Amino acid sequence: MAAAAAAAALGEVEDEGLLASLFRDRFPEGQWRERPDVGRYLRELSGSGLERLRREPERLAEERAQLLQQTRDLAFANYKTFIRGAECTERIHRLFGDVEAALGRLLGRLPSFQQSCRNFVKDAEEIGSNRHMNTLTLNRHTEILEILEIPQLMDTCVRNSYYEEALELAAYVRRLERKYSTIPVIQGIVNEVRQSMQLMLSQLIQQLRTNIQLPACLRVIGYLRRMDIFTEAELRIKFLQARDAWLRSILTSIPSEDPYFHITKTIEACRVHLFDIITQYRAIFSDEDPLLPPAAGEPSVNESAIFHGWVLQKVSQFLQVLESDLQRGGGSRLDSLLGQCMYFGLSFSRVGADFRGQLAPVFQQVALSTFKKAVQEAVEKFQDEMNSYTLISAPAVLRSTIPAAVPVTQPGTLQPPMGLLDFPPLACFLNNILVAFNDLRLCCPVALAQDVTASLEDALGKVGKYQESLFRDELECLASLSLLPLLIFPFFQSFFIYTYDYFIVICKILVENLWLLSRLTDWRRFLNFHTNS
């Protein structure tokens, strides 16, 4: 059977090839191949005999005529149906035109509708996202509320001095900023926390401007270090500035009407509080060199020089105040002030800031100016007394060139010459000079010996010149002047030696260099001649 089927298939292929070659002009190969009835009819013809093929055109013509007649009969019998069909076809054609126009309008509106759909989808997605976010927000309401309350909590901690908790909150906010720096709410929280941190910084620095003790200082500096606002050098400067402001407020509150009271209280305040500040600084900061060198590009700062410069500034300011108060009249008790200042400098030697060597020039200058002022006042008083005094009432001086006997005194004490009682102006002058020496003896710097000698020499020269120019009678003048070399000069020499035990040679130079001594020998001879005659 398989062989028969294969033979039949082969026969059909051969018939189709034959038909295709015969009717190539009338029926293209592609056309009859696409119409199965044409293929069946051609295969049927190929299997017919000759007689049938001859009758086939006639049969086809008869069949065609029958079909035409049937068509006419059908059209005549169903003409109304055809009319209605035509009308329906026309109506359908019009409806198709309307549909086509509507479709055109629909196609014109489709892009906007498509965009609206996209917008709707987008809005729906946003609404869904917002709803999802709202759901998450509701689920995390407690945590979000805690984050939003951080600025208020930070402000409360700072105002109530809970600095430890405030620093923890600040560290937490810094972590939030690193993770969520693009969120506006987080940025607002960060800004508010920074404002609270600024308030905290002001409070901590203000504490350093009060009478704060060392443990509190350690806590405050620890907080400032944890805030990580200042470098180590800047932190040292801020500490010294704050403590210096507190020290200045104490010094400013001291009344300045009385120079002595002002300088004594200033010495005490500086000694106590400066020592406390230095102790606090050395307990908080280390002056050792850093273990690691500074990073590339960062300047190297000598941190120990900051403290040393500040101490030098404070010592200089104290010396300026000391000099100012001494010049204003606080030098009436130089010995007491010198002792207090020396004790002040000695206490600072324990912290490596001994400034006693700088006190000597200050007290030396004040002592010298005080002595010169007293000597000048003594000379002026002598001149005033000499204007109303005459030697006529004092003849005892003219009767003898030998001064009156001085009572025997105990060893180590000095007694003014009794002969000066015959010439009161010189006696008063001597008393005033002795007062100046007594004041100088309380604070008697060795370096002033030469200056004191020059001042005393100048005063004696002025006294001698004034006497010489005042008296008309040369005898009376020489009699009064004789008291200078005979009585006053030796006593001044002794008193000067008593005051400056180690400057006997300078005292001799003083006596030898007085301008009156060049004329003493002639005056004494002239006076003896007139007295004996």
Instruction: Dump pLDDT digits (tens) for 321-380.
Output: 888 888 887 656 777 888 888 888 888 888 777 888 888 788 888 878 888 888 888 888
Find the mean pLDDT for residues 461-465: 75
d(CA 105, CA 99): 10
Q: DSSP labels for 384-436?
A: HHHHT--STT-THHHH-SSPPPPPP--TT-----GGGGGSHHHHHHHHHHHHH
Mark whether 487 and 450 lie in a shared domain.
yes
Residue type, 230: F
Which residues lie below 8 Å from residue 482, measured CB to CB, with a gap of 6+?
397, 401, 523, 524, 527
Which residues lie below 8 Å from residue 371, measured CB to CB, with a gap of 6+?
436, 437, 439, 440, 448, 452, 455
Boundary of a domain, candidates 229, 249, 267:
229
Q: What is the residue range of 174's domain? A: 140-229
Where residue 190 falls among pLDDT bands split at 50, 70, 90? very high
Q: Of how many residues is the chain composed?
A: 533
Boundary of a domain, candidates 121, 138, 155:
138
Mark whether 271 and 412 lie in a shared domain.
no
Which residues lie below 8 Å from residue 80, measured CB to CB, with a gap of 6+?
none
Backbone angles phi, psi at 137, to 5 degrees: -60, -40
Q: Judge whether 83 lies within some domain.
A: no
d(CA 118, CA 252): 78
d(CA 310, CA 316): 10
Mark whether 417 and 518 lie in a shared domain.
yes
Mark whether 39 and 98 lie in a shared domain.
no
Mark whether 482 and 372 lie in a shared domain.
yes
**Looking at residue 508, what is its pLDDT?**
42
Mark whether 400 and 441 lie in a shared domain.
yes
Q: Judge whether 5 lies within some domain.
A: no
Q: Judge whether 282 lies within some domain.
A: yes
Placement of tokens 């009717």 in the chain: 23
Q: Judge whether 77 lies within some domain.
A: no
Boundary of a domain, candidates 334, 354, 374:
354
pLDDT tens column, 124-150: 999 999 999 888 888 888 888 888 999
Find the mean pLDDT for residues 266-289: 86
Handedness of CA 272, 273, 274, 276 (dihedral sign): positive
CB-based contacts of 31-34 (< 8 A; 24+ apart in sequence): none
* Cα angle: 170, vertex 172, 176; to 5 degrees: 115
Residue type, 515: W
Mark whether 39 and 57 lie in a shared domain.
yes
Mark whether 272 and 393 lie in a shared domain.
no
pLDDT tens column, 25-62: 665 655 656 677 777 777 777 777 778 878 888 888 88
Check whether 245 has a pLDDT greater than 90: yes
Q: Judge whether 3 lies within some domain.
A: no
Task: Locate 30 and state its tokens.
Answer: 């592609």
Mark whether 448 and 428 lie in a shared domain.
yes
Task: Locate 85 and state its tokens.
Answer: 């069909």
Alpha-helix residue ranges (DSSP H) falling in 140-183: 141-148, 150-159, 163-179
Mark whether 133 and 236 lie in a shared domain.
no
Q: Judge whether 18 lies within some domain.
A: no
Mark whether 216 and 240 lie in a shared domain.
no
Residue 527: burial class (beta carbons within 10 Å; 0-12, 13-18, 19+): buried
Placement of tokens 């006529």 in the chain: 392
More confident residue, 305 or 192: 192
**Looking at residue 27, what is its pLDDT?**
59
User: Among candidates 508, 490, 416, which has minimal Cα distance to 453?
Assistant: 508
Domain total in the chain:
5
Mark whether 259 and 270 lie in a shared domain.
yes
d(CA 1, CA 8): 11
d(CA 496, CA 375): 14
Q: Judge whether 147 lies within some domain.
A: yes
Cα distances from 235 to residues 3, 238, 420, in angstroms, run: 113, 5, 71
User: Among candidates 140, 147, 137, which has minimal Cα distance to 192?
Assistant: 147
Q: What is the pTM of this model?
A: 0.60
What is the C-alpha R_g of the chain? 66
Q: Judge whether 15 lies within some domain.
A: no
User: Among candidates 385, 387, 336, 341, which has minimal Cα distance to 362?
Assistant: 341
Q: Dihedral angle at the C-alpha atoms of 321, 323, 326, 327, nearest 10 degrees? A: -110
User: Among candidates 425, 499, 413, 419, which has minimal Cα distance to 464?
Assistant: 425
Where residue 20 falls among pLDDT bands split at 50, 70, 90? low
